[in-house]
């Protein structure tokens, strides 16, 4: 569970909700036709823009904003220390039964290739291809959120223009101007909220996740190369630690590293 995403969304919703509630009541903010045109229009834009499989893919990718199965850098170091011990006892072939236990396809592919004794170039090429495919999927998901982030406010404005035109062309009772204007502004509010509370921050989270995953995959790739060259446990750790970004490095206790 990514607590920050949940917390951020909750914070935003509570802010908006309490602003609506304490400013009077929240009822005038719920209006079916306004919801329809803002989200229906955004959906229409997305349906035309992207082929169907990319829309499905984007929602699968969006899951990683909330739930992340990625290990942290210290856990990866721990994992590879474990693999190195196995290799020292049973040789590279001993990694084969371990590969089958992995659910992460990147780790699985890496362990299989290392166990089968592939050379450095083959392992690097295969894992880079895997990493590149993950990057494309993330970028593709991010692009969908960015398209929604620009379509939603535009459709909000279209809804407001429709509402304004209707209110203005049937202006019999000047007392209705206020409530008519209030309804017309709702679509602009929906569009802005959808873009700034969901689409733009989630696109940002996907980018952050992408950078984190790239780091983890780089550490793992270095780990497989280090296992192949059958270096000492200490040197393997040293090589992996060089790939951890300095801001996160202090999370990997150096004492424990030296003790190993």
* Region 44-103 residues binding a second copy, contact defined as CB under 8 A: 44-54, 57, 65
Q: How far apart are CA 82 and CA 237, in angstroms?
A: 11
Residue 135 touches a second copy, criterion: CB under 8 A: no
Q: How far apart are CA 229 and CA 12, in angstroms?
A: 50
Residues 115-134 interacting with a second copy (rule: CB under 8 A): 133
The three-class DSSP label of residue 6 is: helix
Instruction: Give the number of other CB atoms < 10 A from CB of residue 93.
Output: 12
Nearer to a second copy, 109 or 227 (CB): 109
Nearer to a second copy, 24 or 259 (CB): 24
Tokens 């969006």 belong to: 62
Nearer to a second copy, 214 or 260 (CB): 214
Using CB under 8 A, pick the residue from 99, 162, 214, 260 that binds a second copy. Answer: 162
Closest by Cα among 108, 75, 113, 114 to 230: 114
Using CB under 8 A, pick the residue from 69, 89, 247, 255 that binds a second copy. Answer: 247
Using CB under 8 A, pick the residue from 90, 117, 234, 245 that binds a second copy. Answer: 245
Nearer to a second copy, 99 or 126 (CB): 126
Q: Residue 9 has which token pair?
A: 């969304």
Which burial class, exposed, middle or buried, applies to 108 when counting CB atoms under 10 A from its CB (0-12, 13-18, 19+)? middle
Nearer to a second copy, 87 or 147 (CB): 147
Residues 182-241 interacting with a second copy (rule: CB under 8 A): 182, 185-186, 188-189, 192-193, 195-197, 200-202, 204-205, 208, 212
Q: How far apart are CA 203 and CA 139, in angstroms?
A: 9
Closest by Cα among 28, 30, 58, 65 to 43: 58
Q: Per-residue x/- marks for a second copy, 139-158, CB under 8 A?
A: -x------x---x--xx-xx
Nearer to a second copy, 9 or 94 (CB): 9
């Amino acid at each position: 569970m990514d607590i920050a995403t949940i917390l951020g969304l909750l914070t935003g919703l509570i802010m908006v909700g309490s602003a609506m509630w304490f400013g009077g009541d929240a009822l005038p903010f719920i209006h079916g036709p306004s919801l329809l045109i803002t989200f229906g229009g955004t959906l229409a834009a997305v349906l035309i823009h992207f082929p169907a499989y990319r829309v499905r893919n984007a929602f699968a990718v969006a899951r990683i904003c909330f739930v992340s199965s990625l290990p942290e850098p210290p856990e990866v170091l721990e994992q590879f220390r474990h693999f190195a011990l196995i290799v020292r006892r049973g040789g590279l072939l001993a990694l084969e039964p371990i590969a089958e236990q992995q659910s992460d396809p990147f780790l699985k592919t890496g362990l299989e290739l290392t166990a089968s004794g592939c050379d450095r170039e083959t392992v690097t090429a295969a894992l880079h291809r895997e990493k590149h495919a993950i990057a494309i999927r993330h970028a593709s998901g991010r692009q969908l959120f960015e398209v929604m982030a620009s379509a939603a406010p535009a459709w909000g404005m279209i809804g407001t223009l429709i509402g304004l035109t209707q209110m203005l062309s049937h202006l019999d009772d000047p007392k209705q101007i206020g409530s008519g204007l209030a309804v017309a502004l709702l679509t602009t509010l929906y569009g802005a909220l959808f873009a700034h509370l969901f689409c733009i921050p989630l696109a940002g989270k996907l980018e952050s996740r992408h950078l984190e995953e790239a780091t983890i995959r780089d550490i793992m790739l270095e780990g497989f190369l280090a296992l192949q060259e059958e270096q000492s446990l200490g040197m393997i750790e040293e090589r992996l630690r060089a790939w951890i970004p300095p801001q996160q490095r202090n999370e990997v206790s150096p004492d424990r590293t030296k003790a190993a």
